[in-house]
Homo-oligomer: A and B are copies of this chain.
Amino acid sequence: MSISGKNLIAGEWSGETVNGFTAFNAITHEAMTTTFADATESEVNSAIVQANDAFISYSQLSPSKRAHFLRTIGEQILALGDELVTTACTETGLPTMRIQGERGRTIGQLNLFADLLDNGEYQGVIDLADQNRQPLPKPDTRLGYLPLGVVGVFAASNFPLAFSTAGGDTGSALAAGCPVVMKAHAAHPATAELVAQAILTAIEICGVDKGVFSLIQGKNYAIASQIVTHPLIKAVGFTGSERVGMILQQQINQRPEPIPFYGELGSINPQYIMPEKLSKETQAIAQDLVASLVMGQGQFCTSPGVWVLIGEETDEHYQEFIKAAAQSLSEQPAGVMLTPAMCQTYNNAIAAREQVAGVSLLARGLSGREQECSATLFSTDFNTYENTPALHEELFGFSALIVRCDDFAQMLKLTQLLAGNLTASIHALDADLDVAAQLAQTLVHKVGRLIYNQMPTGVEVCASMNHGGPFPASTNIRTTSVGSEAIKRFQRPICYQNMPQALLPKALQS
Residues of B within 8 A of A127 (CB): 460, 462-464
Q: Is A258's CB under 8 angstroms from B497's CB?
A: no
Q: How far is the CA of A465 from the CA of B141 in the complex (A)?
A: 7
User: Do A141 and B448 have beta carbons less than 8 Å apart?
Assistant: no
Pick the contact of A138: B460, B492, B499 (CB < 8 A).
B460
Residue of B nearest to A440 (CB): B503
B452 touches A495 (CB 8 A): no
A139 with B460: in contact, given A471-B258, A478-B260, A495-B466 (CB under 8 Å)?
A: yes
B-contacting residues, A483-502, CB 8 Å: 485, 488, 491-500, 502
Per-residue CB proximity of A179-194 to B under 8 Å, as 1/0? 0000000000000000
Determine chain A's interface SS by DSSP, over half rule: mixed
Question: How many residues of chain A are within 8 Å of chain B by beta carbon?
Answer: 70
* Distance in angstroms between the alpha carbons of A315 and B398 in the assembled complex: 77
1/0 per residue, CB under 8 A from B, across A382-409: the answer is 0000000000000000000000000000
* In the complex, A454 has a CB within 8 A of chain B: yes
8 A Cβ contacts from A469-490 to B? 471-472, 475-480, 485, 488
Query: Is A500 within 8 A of B441, CB to CB?
Result: no
Contacts of A225 in B (CB 8 A): none
| Per-residue contact bits, chain A 135-178, to B (CB 8 Å; 1 contact, 0 not) | 11011011100101100000000000000000000000000000
A477 to chain B: closest residue by CB: B492
Q: Across the A-B interface, give the 7 residue pairs with the lowest CB-CB distance, nearest first.
A: A466-B495, A143-B464, A253-B253, A449-B495, A125-B464, A451-B497, A466-B493
Pairs A–B under 8 Å by Cβ, sample size 25: A56-B445, A124-B464, A125-B463, A126-B464, A127-B460, A127-B463, A127-B464, A138-B462, A142-B464, A146-B444, A149-B445, A249-B258, A260-B477, A433-B500, A444-B494, A447-B494, A448-B493, A452-B496, A452-B500, A454-B497, A454-B498, A465-B495, A468-B492, A479-B493, A485-B493
- A residues contacting B by CB (< 8 A) are 56, 60, 101, 124-127, 135-136, 138-139, 141-143, 146, 148-149, 249, 253, 257-258, 260-261, 433, 436-437, 440-442, 444-445, 447-454, 458, 460, 462-468, 471-472, 475-480, 485, 488, 491-500, 502-503
